[in-house]
Chain A
Amino acid sequence: MSSDNEIISSPILNLIKTENYSNTIIDKILSADVVFLPNKFVDRGINRCFPDETPEFKKYLIQKIPNKNIVLAEEDEINIKLLELNDSSISIPIICFALDFVKAITIQVLASFIVEYFKQKYVRDYRNNTLNIDLTLYINDKKSNKAIKFKYKGDSKGLDIALKNIDINKLAKKDE
């Protein structure tokens, strides 16, 4: 099990620099509260792909936080291809939360949403702790163009604690 928190430059800006997005898409991504970023599976030769869990997780988040702008960083959001992994690792897409949004609902609430999702969908695996979770999320501050990168890889039981340990004040401290 491993988890870490670090401050990096904004992943959204990096993505916009490297991909040929149209201005409409860039505006959509920049104004969103939650952006799902494509994963890179270098060992499989895949540059941009969303994991299998993306549609379900998006619908789940829409249910939990209605009236929020949740988008996928993709030109054609509907007809995307999904990568189905062979391990029982549940790989949800890289999520980028806007800092203002996280401040509004608190990281504890957000963490409980994510953990609840796994609990509901994988009841038995969650109870028996046989689930591998691979989760990357960013909390992005548009003003400073910095983000907290949180990466978790491990079993389901440790996720709850790891998520609640994300310190969003780190971003502010760094600016000072």
Chain B
Amino acid sequence: MNNIKVSLLEDKNYLDLLKNILYLFDLKKYEDIKSKIEHYNENKFTKNKLLLKDIDEITTNINFIKHYYLSIFYDFAEFLIDLKQKEFQKSWCTLQHIQDTITICYNLIQNKTDFNLDTLSDYLYKIEQLYPYVVFSSTECIVEKTCSICKNNLLDKKCTHLSGDIYNGELAGVNINIIEFLGISLVYKPAHKSCTLLPENKYDYKNFPLMSSYGMIYSFFLYSEPFFDFEILIKPKIITHSEINTYNRELLCPCRSEKPFKDCCIKKRFIFVKEKYISSINKKLIDF
């Protein structure tokens, strides 16, 4: 595996960019973060490849890592935008993608603490726990793979590339040429977590988004600051009569009786409910 020392202090512009990105996260300007990173990558970097090669391979690889590392923040901005739009399934996939990027960076970068890789991974794992997904559907298949760099079969002696390593500014991966589908299973620990199963619909309250299955992750978006540690709080809430009047009668009652609202608490003057909130702790997890 590559294990490259990438100095942040030597590249002042890059360090300033990282600081600027964190500042924009504090201001919750996610679109600005995306455009800033797009501007930095322009004509130099595509998804897994550095287009502008340097004189030697080491410098090229260092430049690749710098660009690749930025994609964590690009995707995290995308993730928060997904949450804002209540695209929970999409946000989950983005989160998985970020975790994969961190894993690759982890193997490539020698000075992991400078890049906050452990902290980032733990923070994202904590966010992952806020989703309601427990069981995943996952496919099983027989495949034939080739190397994404040399296009040879993976077991060909000519191919010495290890997936997840960088070779002259290009990330090695695999191309799947043939797939023979065998079956699909429901598993707790899937090979790929993207294929989720929607949780039971009974708590998908349109009236009360925080009480729905995605309530925790939505609460994370509403009440926590990006890259700040957070905790889960349970707060009692009183729903007053005036609020009750605005709710849809046909949807489920917020008292979690699983009855329609019209047949349950609609005539009550107050409803007491317990809502889970995510609250930021005043401790910023990453810094440059």
State whether the Cβ of B103 lies closer than 8 Å to any Cβ in chain A. Answer: yes
B2 to chain A, nearest CB (A): 11
Known: A52-B143, A120-B1. A86 touches B191 (CB 8 A): yes
Beta-carbon contact of B180 and A81 below 8 Å: yes
- Do A88 and B142 form a contact, CB below 8 Å, given A58-B155, A79-B153, A120-B107? no
Interface membership of B57, Cβ < 8 A: no
User: B155 touching A80 by the CB < 8 A rule?
Assistant: yes
Contacts of A87 in B (CB 8 A): 138, 185, 187, 189-191
**Is A122 interfacial (CB 8 A cutoff)?**
yes
- A137 CB → nearest B CB, Å: 20
In chain B, what residue has the closest Cβ to A130?
B189
Q: Which A47-78 residues have a C-beta within 8 angstroms of B?
A: 49, 52, 54-56, 58-60, 63, 72, 77-78
Query: A121 on the interface (CB 8 Å rule)?
Result: yes
Contact A123 to B106, CB < 8 A, known contacts A49-B142, A59-B162, A81-B142: yes
Do the beta carbons of A128 and B125 come within 8 Å of each other?
Answer: yes
> Do the beta carbons of A84 and B125 come within 8 Å of each other?
no
Q: Is the beta-carbon distance between A55 and B140 smaller than 8 angstroms? A: no
Asked whether any CB of chain B lies closer than 8 Å to the CB of A110, the reply is no
Residue in B closest to A76 when the chains form the complex, CB atoms: B155
Contact assessment for A83 and B142 in the assembled complex, using a CB-CB cutoff below 8 Å: yes
Chain A residue numbers with a CB within 8 Å of B103 are 122-124
Chain A residues positioned under 8 Å from B160 (CB to CB): 59
Shortest C-beta distance, B147 to chain A (Å), equals: 9
Q: What total of chain B residues lie within 8 Å of the partner, measured CB to CB?
A: 34
Distance in angstroms from B148 CB to nearest chain A CB is 13
A86 partner, pick from B99, B155, B180, B187, beta carbons under 8 A: B187
Most chain B CB inside 10 Å of its own CB: which residue of A80, A82, A122: A82
Contact B190 A82 (CB under 8 A): no
Number of A-B contacts (CB under 8 A): 86
Over the window 143-182 of chain B, the binary record of Cβ atoms lying under 8 Å from chain A Cβ atoms (1 yes, 0 no) is: 1110000000111100010111000000000000010101
Contact call B142/A84, Cβ cutoff below 8 A: yes
Choice from A55, A82, A121, A127 contacting B142 with Cβ under 8 Å: A82
How does the 8 Å CB contact mask read for A82-124 relative to B, with 1 for contact and 0 for none?
1111111100000000000000000000000000000011111
Q: Does A44 have its Cβ within 8 Å of any Cβ on chain B?
A: yes
CB distance A77 to B140 under 8 Å? no
Given A59-B162, A87-B187, A88-B191; A81-B138 close (CB under 8 Å): no
Residues of the A chain whose Cβ atoms lie less than 8 Å from the Cβ of B121: 123-124, 127
Chain A CB within 10 Å, residue with most, of B1, B139, B160, B180: B1
Instruction: Please determine whether A56 and B187 come into contact, CB atoms closer than 8 angstroms.
Output: no
- Separation of A81 and B153 alpha carbons in the complex (Å): 11
* Shortest beta-carbon distance from A49 to chain B in Å: 7
Residue of B at shortest CB range from A52? B143
A132 at the interface (CB under 8 A from B): yes
Q: Could you tell me if A86 and B138 are in contact, using CB atoms closer than 8 angstroms?
A: yes
Contact check, B153 vs A124: say whether CB atoms are below 8 A apart: no
Residue B234 interfacial (CB < 8 Å): no
- 16 extra interface residue pairs, beta carbon distance < 8 Å, beyond A44-B182, A86-B184, A87-B187: A54-B155, A59-B160, A77-B155, A78-B155, A80-B155, A83-B141, A83-B143, A84-B141, A84-B191, A86-B185, A88-B190, A123-B107, A124-B99, A124-B102, A124-B106, A124-B125
9 A-B residue pairs with CB within 8 Å: A55-B155, A56-B163, A78-B153, A82-B142, A120-B1, A121-B107, A122-B103, A123-B103, A124-B121
Q: Which 4 A-B pairs have the closest CB atoms?
A: A55-B154, A86-B138, A88-B189, A86-B140
